[in-house]
Structure 1
Amino acid sequence: METIEYHPRRDQLVYTFGGSAPVLRIKPGTALRLWSEDAFNNALTSVDDVSGEKVDLRFVNPQTGPFHVEGAEPGDTLALHIVDLTPARSYGASATIPFFGGLTSTDRTAFLQDPLPDTTWIYHVDSVRGTVGFQARFGDFEVALPLEPMLGTVGVAPPGGEVRSSLVPERFGGNMDAPDVRAGTTVYLGVNVEGALFSIGDGHYRQGEGEACGTAVEGAMNSTIIVELIKGGAPAWPRLETDAQWMAVGSSRPMEDSWRIGQLEMVRWFGELFGLHQLDAYQLLTQTALAPIANAVDANYSVVVKAAKQLFPEAHAYSGMHADLRQRGAQLI
């Protein structure tokens, strides 16, 4: 398996999906070892740093990429298997940002109240214990939390020549902030343009479902990813597969539309997996699905709809692509 390492310079980072020339051309089957910057562009390194003074909103959620996948055409399915995610720094940052987050007034949901204080938390990584340390800013409480690295953003170029901010999740993927996008997960994305032009970024050292305050434990990340291409069969919305679950991600506003999108995509997937009529798939999904909130704070909200694979042991998505990629990935660790 060909392995390529890529560590972008700061001037090579991009802040959109679409609109940027590819940094590399790669063949399907290639393994990539990538470095990505944190969502704040490393602007918050101390509790004395606050977003209003340090963070340039033109340059947040920097992406590593895009990468041109040879042979990828509109209508194909890009499979990205995450082999490993490892923090690239000894600390991560989180913050409450004025008029941003799930439990405050925003630019869209406006109330007659002052913004929450612009406050920064720094989490220190203990790589030996595999933890990140929370320290209260307004008291003496401390707790060591398990490291659970994930990628907040993974996506391809949108269709129709669109250029979308790296803060936005949509059918092309993007800033989904789904904790399930972690090591051991295969992400399936529909290809919209020649070469797919995918990128990754927004590493999180851990994040709860919903990302309530709007920021996770944001940190630079070392990622190992295998890139594969499936001709045809493009999903309408992002799909995820782990050893235990199939998942579909819907991103929209209001949140019930995100839920509906994820449910519909799973109905479609059940139809493909089991050869079911749409209404039978709908009924089966109703009795088996879970639907956690991935994020309730981004430009669009994201909901992940999950189905347990143990209920359907005879079914294999994409001809067993995930299991094959898991085996290949074991060679890289």
Structure 2
Amino acid sequence: MTVQPGTIVALSTEDCFAGKVRGLNDLPSQVCTFPFLNPVTGPVAVEGAQPGDTLAVHFVDIVPARDWAVSATFPQFGALTTTTHTAMLHEPLEERVWVYDIDVTAGVCRFRARNSEFTIELPLDPMHGTVGVAPAANEVIMSITPSAHGGNMDTPELRVGTTAYFGVNVPGAMLSIGDGHARQGEGEVCGTAVEAAMNTVVVVDLIKGCAPPSPRLESDDFLITTGSARPLEDAYRMSQLDLVTWAGSLLELDRLDAYQLVSQTGLAPAGNVVDTNYTMVGKLAKSLFGGRQAYDGMHDRLAAVGAEYLRVR
């Protein structure tokens, strides 16, 4: 579809296994069709978006669409197993599926160990692992790959209340969203989160010019940058460089003063350390900025639109 800036868009997304992993015996290698994993919903074109602009996407609501979700380990994927790129003599980890009960009303998902009686309720923290716009130069990139266009960044920061900013590469921007997670630890170390189909509401808007080098995020409390690359150190450097640049611009600091401030106050959680590119995140508390607003207060305006939508829905 094509929408005007300022439009509220309600959409549904399938889980990363395309809904085909439903039980403990549904091994991904047997029920999924490779490489057709990690489906996304879209693209949504935004009228007037042109290369060099910035697309703002505010997450109003993310709700699991089913009362179950799944996670899995499977051969040659994940941070703690042999892979095609990290070749080892030992055998890959066992392929195994976990099924989580989802209770939206109670706000929990229930983990059950496969080889013991251990169970625990974990708080729901719904987010989208894959959010992005079309890449530049007509490049075709698998949805599992994070890069400057966004994609499969797998950062838990992409939750309700967050505004994401993407540099526009093609007319209309072409926003796509998928890979819902009922919750995920930082790094997504086994390669999968609590993978869930989602019903999601976003509000999209447009900022002329000002395209960031990589996706930026903003919550009520933090300004957040991302970097996606291999090795992990380069992803870290990318996110930190943009954090220094963004902070320096907002505070009118020279580069080394901004570098010093970020060095003493920044946070650096991992997005993912399992995908074709790794993603690192940089965070600075907005309390440091003395009321200075990014993008002329776009986050607050979109948050207000989202709050009104939820109030009258």
> How many angstroms apart in 2 are the aligned matches of 1:271 and 1:142?
47
Structure 1 letter corresponding to 2:253: L
Shift, 1:314, TM fit: 2.1
Structure 2 letter corresponding to 1:148: D
Residue number in structure 2 paired with 1:190: 167
TM-score, reference length from structure 1: 0.92
> How many angstroms apart in 2 are the aligned matches of 1:233 and 1:125?
40
Task: Give 2:26's match in structure 1, choosing from 49, 54, 71.
Answer: 49
Structure 2 letter corresponding to 1:92: A
Residue number in structure 2 paired with 1:21: none
> How many angstroms apart in 1 are the aligned matches of 2:4 and 2:248?
31
Q: C-alpha root-mean-square deviation of aligned residues, in Å?
A: 0.7
Which stretches of structure 1, 4 residues or longer, exceed 3 Å deviation after superposition? Answer: none
Structure 2 letter corresponding to 1:272: S
Shift, 1:276, TM fit: 1.7
Task: Give 2:204's match in structure 1, choosing from 227, 231, 246.
Answer: 227
Structure 1 letter corresponding to 2:39: P
Task: Give 1:303's match in structure 2, choosing from 277, 280, 285.
Answer: 280
CA contact (8 A) 2:250 2:289 kept: no
Shift, 1:278, TM fit: 1.5
Structure 1 letter corresponding to 2:265: T
Task: Give 1:204's match in structure 2, choosing from 155, 172, 181.
Answer: 181
Task: Give 2:79's match in structure 1, choosing from 84, 99, 102.
Answer: 102
Residue number in structure 2 paired with 1:244: 221
Does 1:25 find its partner at 2:2? yes
Structure 1 letter corresponding to 2:184: Q
Deviations 1:215-250, CA, capped at 9 Å, x for gaps: 000010011100000000000111000000000010
Shift, 1:312, TM fit: 2.1
> Comparing 305-314 with 90-99, which one deviates more in the overlay?
305-314
> Comparing 62-71 with 51-60, which one deviates more in the overlay?
51-60
Shift, 1:280, TM fit: 1.6
Deviations 1:198-229, CA, capped at 9 Å, x for gaps: 10000000000000100000010011100000
Does 1:138 find its partner at 2:118? no
> How many angstroms apart in 1 are the aligned matches of 2:229 and 2:178?
20
Shift, 1:277, TM fit: 1.4
Task: Give 2:93's match in structure 1, choosing from 116, 133, 138.
Answer: 116
Structure 2 letter corresponding to 1:310: S
Structure 1 letter corresponding to 2:112: Q
Shift, 1:39, TM fit: 0.2
Q: Share of identical aligned residues, percent?
A: 52
Shift, 1:52, TM fit: 1.4
Task: Give 2:103's match in structure 1, choosing from 93, 117, 126.
Answer: 126
Structure 1 letter corresponding to 2:240: Q
Residue number in structure 2 paired with 1:256: 233
Residue number in structure 1 paired with 2:302: 325
